[in-house]
């Protein structure tokens, strides 16, 4: 990829004795959709707040567009669109009034693009914000982050509260930003969302960067729990020799198993028998981390 848009150097933040993030080193390139993945409390929001100079690091630092996150915060804000994880809006205004106000603060925006985003996200900007559901408030927050076509998007749990169809439209909007050469830093605890959206993923746990991987590598290690109900139980050796299959047991014609990696050999083996139903359970992010990286503080 090209120019580095975000770079941290041993970024560390403590709140008194409480850990925020510890010696975080991460780089995000121009035109990249970078996922920042971790359970709640891992340090994702702390990292973002340091990027935008809402809080100051204990040690180390961050640079955005080659600019110092503290000294050059006004210029960084001008070039960045931000959606906070805990969204607070002016409740007495309509969505449209709020966006016009924020657009004026930015020196003006293309209102036709605002209307396009509102249509795509199914957001009624004429309704007072106080009467909106959580999901509809989230749409207004997304529009304000996107409306000035920023070079960098920093989005903290962007699809929280959105229905599945609107989520898919949001993904298409972000993919269009990538095609235009813009960059996005997407914080999430939702592994399928990050797999769907991002080029690379930084995995943070207990304030430390565990790994940075291509999304393809994450998918190769995907962990899924399956329940497969058969019309009649397959023979005991039916699924022997499948390397991605583990923790397998057969219970009254129902196969319970965990699949790590490729689903293809599992599906082919299952298809040899009459199947009545298949249920796939997405494991929690903490289960995935325990499987890949072992235990830790827990609850951090």
- C-alpha torsion angle, residues 100, 104, 107, 109 (rounded to 10): 0
Q: What is the pLDDT of residue 277?
A: 95
Q: What are phi and psi of 219, to 5 degrees?
A: -65, -35
Which residue's entry shows tokens 């746990």? 205
Task: Judge residue 300's burial from the number of C-beta atoms within 10 Å of its C-beta, 0-12 exposed, 13-18 middle, 19 or more buried.
Answer: middle
Cβ atoms of residues 84 and 68 within 8 Å: no
Runs of H (alpha helix) within 147-221 = 164-179, 191-197, 215-220
Q: In this structure, how many other beta carbons lie within 10 angstroms of the beta carbon of residue 275?
A: 13
Task: Name the percent of the chain in helix, strand, coil, to the closest 5.
Answer: 30, 30, 35
**Those residues with Cβ within 8 angstroms of residue 275's Cβ, 6 or more apart along the chain or in another chain:** 228, 229, 230, 231
* Residue 94 DSSP one-character state: B
Cβ atoms of residues 262 and 232 within 8 Å: no
| Cα–chain center distance at 258 | 24
Answer yes or no: same fold for 4-219 and 222-293.
no
Tens of pLDDT, residue by residue, the chain (300 residues): 469 999 999 999 999 999 999 999 999 999 999 999 888 888 999 999 999 999 999 999 999 999 999 999 999 999 999 999 989 999 999 999 999 999 999 999 999 999 999 999 999 999 999 999 999 999 999 999 999 999 999 999 999 999 999 999 999 999 999 999 999 999 988 877 888 899 999 989 889 998 898 887 776 666 788 999 999 999 988 998 898 888 899 998 899 998 887 788 999 999 999 999 999 887 665 666 666 555 544 333
Cβ atoms of residues 48 and 156 within 8 Å: yes
Domain at 4-219, CATH class: alpha beta
| Cα–chain center distance at 36 | 6
- What is the spatial distance between Cα 182 and Cα 178, in angstroms, rounded to a whole number? 5
- C-alpha torsion angle, residues 167, 28, 294, 61 (rounded to 10): -120
- What is the spatial distance between Cα 166 and Cα 162, in angstroms, rounded to a whole number? 6
pTM above 0.85, yes or no: no
- What is the spatial distance between Cα 66 and Cα 62, in angstroms, rounded to a whole number? 9
At 115, list the tokens.
């209307």
Q: What is the pLDDT of residue 295?
A: 52
CATH 3.10.310 fits 222-293, yes or no: no
Domain boundaries along the sequence of the chain = 4-219, 222-293
Strands (E), the chain: 4-15, 18-24, 27-29, 33-37, 59-64, 67-68, 80-83, 152-156, 183-188, 200-205, 208-214, 223-230, 245-251, 254-260, 275-281
């Amino acid at each position: 990829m090209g120019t580095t848009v975000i770079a941290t150097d041993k970024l560390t933040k403590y709140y008194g004795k409480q850990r925020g993030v510890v010696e975080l080193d991460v780089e995000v390139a121009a035109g990249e959709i970078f996922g920042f993945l971790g359970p709640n409390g891992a340090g994702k929001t702390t990292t973002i707040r340091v990027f935008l100079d809402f809080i100051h690091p204990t040690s180390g630092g961050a640079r955005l567009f080659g600019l110092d996150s503290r000294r050059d915060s006004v210029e960084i804000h001008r070039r960045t669109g931000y959606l906070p994880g805990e969204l607070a809006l002016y409740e007495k205004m309509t969505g449209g009034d709020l966006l016009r106000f924020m657009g004026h603060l930015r020196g003006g925006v293309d209102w036709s693009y605002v209307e396009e985003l509102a249509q795509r996200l199914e957001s009624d900007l004429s309704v007072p914000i106080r009467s909106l559901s959580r999901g509809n408030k989230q749409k207004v927050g997304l529009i304000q982050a996107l409306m000035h076509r920023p070079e960098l998007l920093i989005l903290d749990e962007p699809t929280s509260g959105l229905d599945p169809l609107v989520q898919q439209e949001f993904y298409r909007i972000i993919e269009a930003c990538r095609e235009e050469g813009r960059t996005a830093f997407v914080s999430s605890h939702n592994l399928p969302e990050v797999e769907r959206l991002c080029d690379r993923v930084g995995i943070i746990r207990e304030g430390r960067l565990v790994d940075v991987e291509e999304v393809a590598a994450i998918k190769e290690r995907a962990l899924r729990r399956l329940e497969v109900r058969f019309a009649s139980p397959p023979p005991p050796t039916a699924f022997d020799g499948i390397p991605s299959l583990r923790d397998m047991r057969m219970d009254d014609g129902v196969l319970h198993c965990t699949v790590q990696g490729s689903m293809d050999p599992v599906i082919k083996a299952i298809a040899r028998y009459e199947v009545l139903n298949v249920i796939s359970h997405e494991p929690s992010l903490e289960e995935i981390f325990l499987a890949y990286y072992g235990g830790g503080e827990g609850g951090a």
